[in-house]
Structure 1
Amino acid sequence: MIRISIDAMGGDIGPSVLLPALLKVVERRPDVRFQIFGQEAVVRPVLDQLPKLTAVSVFTHCEISVRMDDKPSQALRHGRWKSSMWKAIEAVKNGQADVCISAGNTGALMAMSKFCLRTMAAIDRPAIAALWPTVRGESVVLDVGATIGADAHQLVDFAILGAAMARAVLAVDRPTVGLLNVGVEEIKGQEEVKQAGQLLRDAELPSMEYHGFVEGDDLGRGTTDVVVTEGFAGNIALKTAEGTARQIGEYLRAAMSRTLMAKIGYFFARDAFQRLREKMDVRKANGGVFLGLNGIVVKSHGGADEEGFAAAVELGYDMARYKIIERIKSDLDTFHARRPVATTPAVPGDEQE
C-alpha cells in the first residue's frame, strides 16, 4: 500500500476539486490509501458523497488552514503543529504516510517542509523539480524556485536529485543531465556552472550520463532528460513557458473564430486542437516535487482542476513506490565516494626542513 497524506484545504477552490480528484486516483491505483487533513465543516460534506474514497481514507479535523496569501513566516507562526498543511507533512515525518500532497501556498509549504522534515545530511538546500513537456515527451527541470542562487556543489546535488526523479518518473535507467547555461561551449557561463560541469564530468556517476551545457531552447526540445539550474533562472523559465502556452492558446482561439471558413476548419480539426490544448496546459503536467528533504512533498498547482490534482497525487505515488529517498541517499553516497579529496596547496616557506 502507498499511503498519501493530503492537505485538503489548499488550492484556489479546495475540497470540492481535490477530493473528487482523489477518487480518480483510487479508481486507477487500487493500492493507494489516504490520510486527509482539513476543516470538518468544509471537507466532510464533500467526502460523505464519495463512499469509495471514504472507504480508503482516514479524515482528521484541523482547525486552521494556511491561506494562499500568507507569508511563510506567518504560516509557520500560526499554522505550525495544528494546520492541515503541517499535519499532512508531519504524517510523512512520523511514518504514517509515504508522501504529502498540497495545492496550498508554495512558500508556506516549503518553509513547513524544511522545518518539519529537514534537509538530507548531504544536501545544503532543497530544490523544486517539475516535469516539463517537450517534443520528445517530458523532462525533469530543477530548481524552479526553492533556492535563489547556487554554488557548484549545490548544482551537482540538484543533478543527483533530478536524475533520481527521472529514473522514477520517466523510466530511464541512466538519464542524461544538462546544466542550463548561456551557451554550450565550455568557456561560457558563470564560474559556478562551469565548476559544476567539471565535477559531474570527473565523477562519472553510474546513475546519470552528464551531457554538458544546454541552452533555453533545449528545454522544449527535450535535449536531455534532466535540466539543472538555480531557482531564480528556473522559476523565470517556468513562468515564461506557462505564459507562452496561454499566449499561443489565445492566438489559436482568435484565429479559429475570425472567419466562417476558420470556424468550419476548426469544427473538423477540433480533436487535434483539443490534444494540443491538453499538451500545452501546464496544469495537466502538474506537480512540483520538493527534493532534498527527508521525505517526499509534492506541490500541486493552486488552480489545478480534478485531473490536474490527480496527476500531482499520482506523481507522488510514483515517487513513493520507487523509494526515491533511499535511492537519492545511495546516489549521494556514490558521488561523495568518487569525489576527489581537496588538498591545500603548499605555501612557499612552509616546507618541513
Structure 2
Amino acid sequence: MASRTLFDALPPFPDNVVTAPIQTISLKELSSGSFDASKSLFEACRDLGFFLLDLGDDVIGEQLVGQIDQLFRISRDIMHLPKEVKIQYAHDPPKSFLGFKPRGIAKTETNQPDRFEWFNLGQDGLIGNESLQPLPPTITEHLPIFASFLRNGQAVAEAINVAIATQLNLPPQTFVSLQDPAKKSGTVVRLIKADASPEPEHLRTSMIHHTDFGSITLLVNVLGGLQILAKSKTPEDPDAWLYVRPQPKCLIVNMGDAMVKWTGGILNSNTHRINFAPGKQRFVERLSLGILFRPERNASMKTLVGESAHDEEDLTAWEWEVKKLMALKR
C-alpha cells in the first residue's frame, strides 16, 4: 500500500463505519517461511477470501511502497488525460481488455451507468512476451517503474502461492507454475479512477458486485470505497456490505475464481464492489492501483485437491475463461 504520506494528504477514514474483519499478514514473515504466517494467510483465504499484506520491514515490500507512491502521482496524470486522448487507446472487449475503459459503459445492479474508468496495461507487453500495446506518451515515459512494480508484485504473488500450496500439502511451486509470467496470460496492471460523490444522487454503487476471474489480485487503495460481502449474506441485503479500511504500507489481497477452481472450492473468491467512499472521503476522487494475476493461457484448470480432482474435463485457462465469460453474458 502507499506510504502514510499519501494517507495524511486525504480526509481520514471515519471511525463510525462498519468494516470487514480482515486479517493482516506480514510479508516479511511470509517470505521467511513462517508457518504461522502461512497458516494465517490460508485461513484468511478460506474465510473472507481477503487479507491485508503488511509490506513493512521487507526488502521487496519497501520497494513496492516507494513505487506505489510514485505510481499514484503518475496514475493521476494518466487518468486525467483528455477524453479524446484516452479514447484512442480504448479497450475492445471481448477481443482485448487492454487499454482504456470509459466511464458509464457498464451498468450497476440498479441498471444505472457505472461511475469509474480504468486503464489496463498487459503483463505480456510489459515484460516482452509480446509487442507492447499502443500507449499514450504519459505511460510510455514511465514504463520502467510499471515493469519494476509488476516484477515486485510477481514476487509477492509467488510467496502467497507457495504458502497456499504448502498448506494444502501440494508441491510448493504448484500454483506458481500455473501462473508462469514468462508465458502469455491475461494478467494486467490496472489503474482505476472512481469519481468523487459530492451530491446525494452520487451515493450509490460505482462498480457492480463481482468476483475476480483470475488467481490473485493485489490492490492498492488510499481512500475507502471497496466493500466485500459478509459471510452467508446475499448482495441484495444492504447490511451485508462491509467496507475495507485501507492501511498504510498494506496491500489488499483477494483470491480469484481460478484459485477456487484449482482448490475444489476450499478457498473463497469473495463478492466485492466499489461504493462511494465513506465520510468526508466521498468528496475526493478515488484512485486505485492493482495487479490482477491470471493463469497462463495454456495452464490446466483441473481441480488439484478434493474428490473432483481426477473426474472432470481438462480445460485450459483460456478455454475456461471464455466459458465463464459466455456464462456471465447469458
Asked if Structure 1 and Structure 2 have the same fold, meaning a TM-score greater than 0.5 normalized by the shorter chain, the answer is no
Larger radius of gyration: 1
More helix per residue: 1
Q: What TM bracket, shorter-length normalisation?
A: under 0.3
